[in-house]
Amino acid sequence: MLTIATGNRAVAEAVKAAKPAVIAAYPITPQTEIVEQIAEYVTSGDLESHYIPVESEHSAMAACIGASVGGVRTFTATSSHGLLYMHEMIHWAAGGRLPIVMANVNRALGPGWNTWAEHTDAFSQRDTGWLQVYVGTVQEAYDATLMAFRIAEDERVLLPVMVNLDGFSLSHITQSLETEEIGDFLPPYHLPHAIDTEKPRGYGPMTGPDNYYRFRWDIERSMRDAREVITEVEREFADRFGRSYGPTEEYRCEDADVVVIALGTFGKEAEVAVDRLRDEGIRAGSMRLRWFRPFPHLDLSGREVVVIDRDYSFGFGGVVANSIRAKTGIEPYSVIAGLGGQEVTYNDIADFVRGRRPGEETWFGVNNHV
């Protein structure tokens, strides 16, 4: 069915289609609309689910952990400081190999207090063992949320998935949305190590030096296996519903001399900048990173690279730029832009390309080059 929706509404529609048995929720701007809409679906009977309005984000993730290990599909959503409040439980969810799906509406961290878009909140959780996907349109928010359940619950993965969408610039933007009758695209939830109340056992959380590292390696093995699972699920999704995705979304990259790399809505804005640059004779392309964990294999050989980071790791640099440097050996031109919702237009992105200095870093609006 074709309709008009915000990014937040698209996530809620996907959750309704996925039919999780338990949803634990706590409101926070700019995510609140997601859990409010889901609550309406539950109240109206459009979604048969146990909706738990918990007292905090920490409790929301704890409730999802309990329900997931009990053998049912779960979902939650949060943003910014709510995500930070979950931090301990986020580690537990991945370590427990629980396929929880969470939408995170990317928002800056305080102080100063700011409710606009930034990716630092999700990047602060990048090493917890969660898969992370970043979406750029309302339709993709719906599609990625649906696929997240399928990917997380695959027995080759069994890791939680975080679906990230930019606060306000996508969460509250209205675009066209096509929803689906998903049929058997999502098979029944099955957790091999679910607790069975008919077979009570004692569980101990302690793991000694002889075995702890094995559990950590198993997360890494599954993260590597997730690449193949993601490819399989995205291919089946395309066959069923006609919309194709991959680890990146490339635009006019085939003959590009310089490639702009960004996540989320900046990745879509860069496409307009590329068209402007092409009109000037600059062979530019854009590559929007969709999956950040597992980090994709990128072929950037022979090209200059401009990376726009909507984040910063103090004393280190842009997280995406440094990830690309570490994985490919390429020295990108690193631009820090859009923090806390700072306005960045396609004209600005085109200027980043025109003034690029490979191997250097600059903060947009600060005029500071390193």
Q: Tell me the pLDDT tens digit for each residue of 112-158.
A: 999 999 999 999 999 999 999 999 999 999 999 999 999 999 999 99
Query: Is the model's pLDDT at 17 over the cut of 60?
Result: yes
pLDDT band for 202, please (50, 70, 90 cuts).
confident
What is the spatial order of strands in the sheet that 50-53 belongs to? 50-53, 22-25, 74-78, 101-106, 161-166, 131-134, 291-293
d(CA 192, CA 189): 10
Measured from the Cβ of residue 36, the count of other Cβ atoms closer than 10 Å reads 13
Distance CA 119, CA 165 (A): 9
pLDDT at 266: 98
Cα dist from 302 to 84, 255, 332, 354, whole Å: 39, 11, 12, 18
Nearest Cα neighbor of 102 from 119, 118, 116, 86 is: 86
Whats the size of the chain, residue-wise? 370
pLDDT at 162: 99
The per-residue pLDDT for 257 is 98
368, pLDDT greater than 70: no
| Res. 370: pLDDT tops 70 | no
Burial (CB count <10 Å: 0-12, 13-18, 19+), residue 199: exposed
Q: Is the pLDDT of residue 369 over 60?
A: no
For residue 2, the model assigns a pLDDT of 87
| pLDDT tens digits, one per residue of 67-92 | 999 999 999 999 999 999 999 999 99
Residues near 19 by beta carbon (within 8 Å), at least 6 away in sequence: 47, 48, 49, 73, 186
pLDDT at residue 367 greater than cutoff 80: no
**Mean of the pLDDT values across residues 188-216?**
92
Q: Give mean pLDDT, residues 214-233.
A: 98
Nearest alpha carbon to residue 68 among 214, 193, 168: 193
Across the chain, what does the average pLDDT equal?
97
CB 250 within 8 A of CB 284: no
The structural domains of the chain, ordered by start, are 2-179+209-241 (3.40.50.970), 249-369 (3.40.50.920)
CA 45 centroid distance within chain = 29
For the cut 90, the answer to whether the pLDDT of residue 170 exceeds it is yes
Q: Taking 70 as the threshold, does the pLDDT of residue 65 lie above it?
A: yes
Report residue 201's pLDDT band, with 50, 70 and 90 as the boundaries: confident
pLDDT tens-digit profile of 40-51?
Answer: 999 999 999 999
Neighbours of 310 (CB within 10 A): 30
Q: What is the pLDDT of residues 270-307, one digit of tens each?
A: 999 999 999 999 999 999 999 999 999 999 999 999 99
Q: What is the mean pLDDT of residues 167-191?
A: 97
